[in-house]
Amino acid sequence: MKKTFIISLLAVAASVFGQTALDKFLSNPALQNANVGVCVRNLSTGKVIADSRSAFVIPPASTQKLLTTTTALELLGSDFRFSTYLETDSTIVGGVLLGNLYIRGTGDPTLGSQKIGDQMFLYRWVQALKKKGIREIRGNIIADVSFFDGDAVNPQWIWEDIGNYYAAGVYALPYLDNTLNIQLNSTAVGQVAAVVKTIPQIDGIEFENHIRCTSITYDGAYVHGLPYNNKRYLVGSIPANHGIFGVKGDIPNPPLLLAQHLKMRLEEQGIIVQGNADYLTETLQPVRTLLYEHRSEPLSEILKEINQNSNNLFAEQLFRFLASRISLPCTIQNSVVVLQNCWRNRGINLQNCFIMDGCGLAPQDAVSAGTLVQLLTYMDKSRNKDVFVESLPVAGTSGTLRGFLRETPLQGNVSAKSGTTSRIKSYAGYMTNQEGETLAFAVIVNNASCKSRQVQTMIEKFLLDIYSQP
């Protein structure tokens, strides 16, 4: 009885000190007119020790990725791998493939990625076809992207983002991170920065270029354009007198580029291709024969890339794939339903949240701090706990938290997802207090009257106060 009484007193004290730390945080003048949601729960006692507007839904920026990654982990398992199939609609006679060679995708974001995956995969595809005895292909090389619907760009994203590398299109066959490096010639102030070349080279690409060289010291250029369309609009400015200056945009048609590159690799290796490279978006599925199956890195590695480096493309590809659990082709609407069903079955209601995408880029996304803490609480007991926690960056050590809480008592002691866009700063994850207890926390700040870096400092001080409480 005495022990229970002492524990109760400690829980009350923790709650009081937690709320005191929160009051101190919220009293900052820069937050007086901001939209702020905070929730901190002691997972050892189950008690909420700090709470402010935790039920209010607020745009979370990239902490939205926690919904995507935890859902995928719970439904697919850490060993899940994306599959990409090489198929034909014909037969092989005397070393000649009489029909088309299809590349049928299911959304694998690692194809040709510089982040993770097999950089030599096209070579391995060619070798697999050689083992089938193929010396000539009479038909076309066709990228089949019918597994996803036609919404390659989320309709809720803003024009300023669409066409840039961080808002690249979503396809059943992404390739090379769907990223185009545009090499510009940076000359004198006031001059238009001419396009020198692109990496990779895109046949038929057109630029309407309005990027000027100015006295700025950062990349202020934007790329605009639509999926499957080879015209790109270049606007903004770059630093003057820098020689070659790279600006990153999206690849207009990654599936077609993949088919073109496979055709080139086949011909380089002595396999004659009579037809052309093309792509297929329709859902018509002729009877085909499987020639080869390519499998991605496991989901556990993909989640690390998403959460550690806040990879929008990987998150969106995974988010869209989840819709396949309902029907094909995969749609954004069905992806949302899958997320809602997953967590409703686990006792967490997402009906009051606004889920527009899987990465947090849509301004209309809105999630409450309380919901994020509920999700973190569930994952703390999940069979997938270790894989999930290992996917998160660590304060002062790795990923997007490398500079967060650095050289403080919480360095190496916080695992969390960060979120940053214009006027939004958020963090959600786990920390350990001085008593060795695990705390789940979420802090979302919108529209503070100061710079993003200052908001980060405020949140760091708040978490340090929570850590130091008796």
Shared-domain flag, residues 433 and 366: yes
Instruction: Kindly report, residue by residue over 297-346, the tens digit of the pLDDT.
Output: 999 999 999 999 999 999 999 999 999 999 999 999 999 999 999 999 99
Shared-domain flag, residues 231 and 343: no
Report the distance separating Cα 315 and Cα 309, nearest Å: 11
DSSP 229-262: --EEEEEEEEESS-EEEEEEEE-S-HHHHHHHHH
In a domain, 2, yes or no: no
CB atoms within 10 A of CB 159: 10
In a domain, 11, yes or no: no
Shared-domain flag, residues 279 and 341: no
Identify the domain containing residue 199 by its residue range. 171-250
In a domain, 12, yes or no: no
In a domain, 70, yes or no: yes
Report the distance separating Cα 386 and Cα 115, nearest Å: 22
Domain edge (last residue) among 277, 297, 317: 297
In a domain, 166, yes or no: no
Torsions phi, psi of 250, nearest 5? -100, 155
Shared-domain flag, residues 112 and 239: no
Shared-domain flag, residues 70 and 129: no
Per-residue model confidence (pLDDT) at position 18? 79
- Amino acid letter at 443? V
Contacts of 462 (CB under 8 A, 6+ apart): 21, 22, 24, 25, 38, 443
Shared-domain flag, residues 56 and 69: yes
In a domain, 158, yes or no: no
Q: Which CATH number covers residue 268?
A: 3.50.80.20
Nearest residue to 389 via CA among 359, 427, 415 = 415
CB atoms within 10 A of CB 361: 23
Shared-domain flag, residues 336 and 380: yes
Tokens representing residue 465 in the block: 């106060």
Q: Which CATH number covers residue 330?
A: 3.40.710.10
Shared-domain flag, residues 283 and 182: no
Shared-domain flag, residues 320 and 463: yes
Indicate the number of domains in the chain.
3
Domain edge (last residue) among 250, 267, 286: 250
Per-residue model confidence (pLDDT) at position 221? 96
Instruction: Kindly report, residue by residue over 180-239, the tens digit of the pLDDT.
Output: 999 999 999 999 999 999 999 999 999 999 999 999 999 999 999 999 999 999 999 999
Shared-domain flag, residues 276 and 395: no
Per-residue model confidence (pLDDT) at position 286? 73
CA angle 75, 59, 18 (to 5 degrees): 90
In a domain, 13, yes or no: no
**Any bridge partners for residue 101, and if so which?**
88, 141
Per-residue model confidence (pLDDT) at position 436? 92
Torsions phi, psi of 190, nearest 5? 95, -15
**Any bridge partners for residue 250, and if so which?**
179
Residue 448 to residues 70, 160, 257, Cα–Cα distance (Å): 29, 22, 43
Shared-domain flag, residues 450 and 353: yes
Shared-domain flag, residues 336 and 206: no
Nearest residue to 425 via CA among 63, 5, 8 = 63
Instruction: Kindly report, residue by residue over 368-421, the tens digit of the pLDDT.
Output: 999 999 999 999 999 999 999 999 999 999 999 999 999 999 999 999 999 999
Provide the phi-psi class of 252: left if phi over 0, else alpha when psi is between -120 and 50, else beta. alpha
- Contact between 443 and 427 under an 8 Å Cβ cutoff? The reply is yes
Residue 53 to residues 17, 150, 348, 419, 459, Cα–Cα distance (Å): 18, 38, 18, 18, 16
In a domain, 165, yes or no: no
